[in-house]
Structure 1
Amino acid sequence: MFKNKITFLLYSFLFVIFSACGGDNEDDPVVEKDTIKPTISCIDNINVVGNEKGTVVNYTAPIGTDNLLGAQTLQIEGLKSGSVFPFGTTTNTFQVTDAAGNKTLCSFQVIVSEPSANQPYSLSNGVSTPSGKKWIKVENLSDEFNTNTLDTQKWASRVSTWIGRAPAMFKDEAISLKEGNLLITNYMLDAAETVNGTTYTHAGGLIRSLQAATPGMYFECRMKANKTFMSSTFWLINNRNDGTGCDKRTTELDIQECVGEITTTASWASTFDRGMHSNTHSRNLTCSESKEGSIGNTSNGDIVYEGYHVYAAWWKSATEILFFLDGELQKTVNPIEEFNLPMYYRLVTETYDWNPVPANGGLTGSAEERTTKYDWVRTWKLEDN
């Protein structure tokens, strides 16, 4: 009897516990698990042309949505918007996760292609080609420098009336072609040379185009500067003696002028070993109606001798010139006088009177450090589609 009583009490206790926990009450709410996945949609693939410094790509990152609150979106692959994207394909993947742990993915690609020799380098990013037009390469003003000798159908060294600004004179011995580059290697003369009363102690080089460029053309050059106090340059100038009347004047378009070593204390030249220094000059006038002066632009950038950079200008019209550095528009310049006269290329290393020779002569480094390298020069003009 005692045993039955204990069993009764045990079953009674379990019944109370079971009832307190809800038991099998049909009125209790049923909690259903969230099985609906969140949604997310990515943008289309992005195709861009790369440049020397890497390609910054901005895009709108997707944000996922869900039927309930609490969804979170994370990028799990690729690079964030505003990053520098490398050449090739970068896959960017985003994942949205809801409060129940359901996940959904989406992806898009950023495809950075190498610059093409069949279209202008800078104008492929952000500057529109005029409607109904296309760019055609001007072969006589373009060169990949993939031969061992200078193409004398396109280029000549030196200018008969200009042998260089003292103390450096232009020497053919400074010019060579090697490994797909036109090279100008500065050096000290074995003995000083005196010409017309002027003494020269250093050697640089000058290459000029045989064909003239005209308004509307686009000019670009991939160049690595030398690491000396002497210049590395890419520019155009007209032949003043070809003009008559008011056109007997000088117009000069400096796309890039720089030095590898700054020896001057002038504050305006404190960045001449980096970035891009461009200018438009009007001088040597014969008519009072013509205007004289210079208008240019200085752009910040990397040290000029640490790597190659692409320097470019679009001679859009007689009154408008656009300057580019590594594929990016730097400034639009309106020259003080019309730039409507034919001009010729100059690829030059020389001494500047404002950047004096160092006490040790300044050319004590290796041949590599004393050399300006021109990888290519390309010129384009617009034609109808």
Structure 2
Amino acid sequence: MVAPKLNSPLLLLLWCICLVSACNKNTGVITPPEPEPDPMTGDRDFENIDPNQPSFVSIDDTTPETQKWVKVEELTDDFDSWNDNKWFKPLWNYGVPVDMKAENAGVTDGNLWIKATLNEGQERWFNTSRVQSRAQINYPMYTESRIKTAHISAYNTFWLNNGNISNRNEIDVIENNSKPSCNCQPDFPWQMNSQYFHVVDDDTRRNKGNFDNRNLADDNPLKGVRWNEEYHIVGVWWKDARNIQFYLDGEPAGSVVSERDFTRDLNIIWDLWTVDEPWLGGLPPQSDLNDETINTMKIDWIRTWTLEDR
């Protein structure tokens, strides 16, 4: 089609409209306009996270320009086998009905696992376990772990701690329960329970930074996926003596500010436990502990870095 000599802008506009219409009529295809990229998310790829950096670096890199992440090998593991140099099983108990056993944790098929099993007829009928790092770490640091919860009414935990009930520094990255039994925690299947404790001579300072995974970005494929349905990456950037930022599947997910300075180097811990309290979600039916399809917490890997000047 050859453009006629047009002496006015209006005639030129009408000719352009006719040209587009004719092209569409000839091809039978109407090409929609390209969607504009979301200025808040850009073009993000949650499926190709760089394993050599904290996951959020691949999504929204907020690392200070003058600093870099350096991997801490002592606190990093793909769990191809059990490594006695990195991990051990401290078997101190929580309250009834928990009973910690060494045989209830191990490494199989590329996963660290912690299993709840039934000791029928006993007061402490909830057999389970705990895994702790030998190495300790302090801020500024970032650690994250890829975890799929046991689908029973229990806390599947990933946390940092040093001390005892009366004197301790503690950061709880997750205390997740995908199947609360109490009919009182309807958000727990999606709620990332995160908090800190700072205790000096039984004087406890504490605050929560809980996050609901249904509030992840729309382009995040794990938005709204329950803790037992898929592995989720949970992490924490321990920035300084008081500021703690939690992460979920590559995105910031709640934060807390401590009322007092953290002063202790911390160990990293996973465990699986329950108690007959509504704040945890209630006890599981004992029959759930005999179900091999739901009674095991699985940890695919852990990766840890320190933040250092370039």
TM-score using structure 2 length: 0.79
CA distance in 1 between partners of 2:96 and 2:268 (Å): 22
2:69 to 110, 126, 135: 135
Q: How many residues align?
A: 276
1:357 to 269, 283, 293: 283
Deviation, 1:81, is 4.2
Whichever residue aligns with residue 377 of structure 1, its letter is I
Encode CA deviations 1:35-91: one digit per residue, 9 max, x unaligned.
9xxxxxxxxxxxxxxxxxxxxxxxxxxxxxx996536994488x8745xx9xxxxxx
Whichever residue aligns with residue 332 of structure 1, its letter is S
Are the aligned partners of 2:72 and 2:306 in contact in 1 as well (CA < 8 Å)?
yes
CA distance in 1 between partners of 2:289 and 2:95 (Å): 20
- For 2:133, the equivalent position in structure 1 comes to 209
Question: 1:290-305 residue pairs with structure 2 within 5 A?
Answer: 292-301=204-213, 302-305=225-228
Q: Which runs of 5+ in 2 are unaligned?
A: 5-12, 22-29, 214-224
Deviation, 1:234, is 0.4
Deviation, 1:110, is 7.6
CA distance in 1 between partners of 2:286 and 2:111 (Å): 27
1:368 to 269, 293, 298: 293
The alpha-carbon distance between structure 1 residues 351 and 110, as it changes in their structure 2 partners (threshold 3 A), is closer
Deviation, 1:292, is 2.9
- For 1:122, the equivalent position in structure 2 comes to 56
Q: Which runs of 5+ in 1 are unaligned?
A: 1-31, 36-65, 86-108, 193-198, 242-247
Are the aligned partners of 1:229 and 1:362 in contact in 2 as well (CA < 8 Å)?
no
2:260 to 331, 337, 342: 337
1:157 aligns with 2:50: no
Whichever residue aligns with residue 309 of structure 1, its letter is H
CA distance in 1 between partners of 2:236 and 2:267 (Å): 14
Q: C-alpha root-mean-square deviation of aligned residues, in Å?
A: 3.0
- For 1:286, the equivalent position in structure 2 comes to 201
Are the aligned partners of 1:122 and 1:312 in contact in 2 as well (CA < 8 Å)?
no
1:270 to 165, 186, 189: 186
The alpha-carbon distance between structure 1 residues 293 and 176, as it changes in their structure 2 partners (threshold 3 A), is same
Deviation, 1:132, is 2.3
Deviation, 1:349, is 0.2
Whichever residue aligns with residue 193 of structure 2, its letter is H
TM-score using structure 1 length: 0.65
Are the aligned partners of 2:195 and 2:206 in contact in 1 as well (CA < 8 Å)?
yes
- For 2:105, the equivalent position in structure 1 comes to 175
Are the aligned partners of 2:139 and 2:306 in contact in 1 as well (CA < 8 Å)?
no
Which structure exhibits the higher relative contact order, with contacts defined as CA atoms closer than 8 Å and separated by 6 or more residues? 2
1:377 aligns with 2:295: no
CA distance in 2 between partners of 1:259 and 1:346 (Å): 17
Partner SS state of residue 210, structure 2: strand
CA distance in 1 between partners of 2:137 and 2:176 (Å): 23
Query: Mean Cα displacement is larger for which, 331-340 or 180-189?
Result: 331-340
CA distance in 1 between partners of 2:175 and 2:14 (Å): 61
- For 2:148, the equivalent position in structure 1 comes to 224
Question: 1:17-56 residue pairs with structure 2 within 5 A?
Answer: 33-34=2-3
Larger Rg: 1
CA distance in 2 between partners of 1:380 and 1:67 (Å): 62
Are the aligned partners of 2:159 and 2:174 in contact in 1 as well (CA < 8 Å)?
yes
Are the aligned partners of 1:169 and 1:203 in contact in 2 as well (CA < 8 Å)?
yes
CA distance in 1 between partners of 2:290 and 2:126 (Å): 14
Deviation, 1:210, is 0.8
Percent of aligned pairs sharing the same letter = 25
Are the aligned partners of 1:292 and 1:336 in contact in 2 as well (CA < 8 Å)?
no
Deviation, 1:262, is 0.8
Are the aligned partners of 1:176 and 1:184 in contact in 2 as well (CA < 8 Å)?
yes
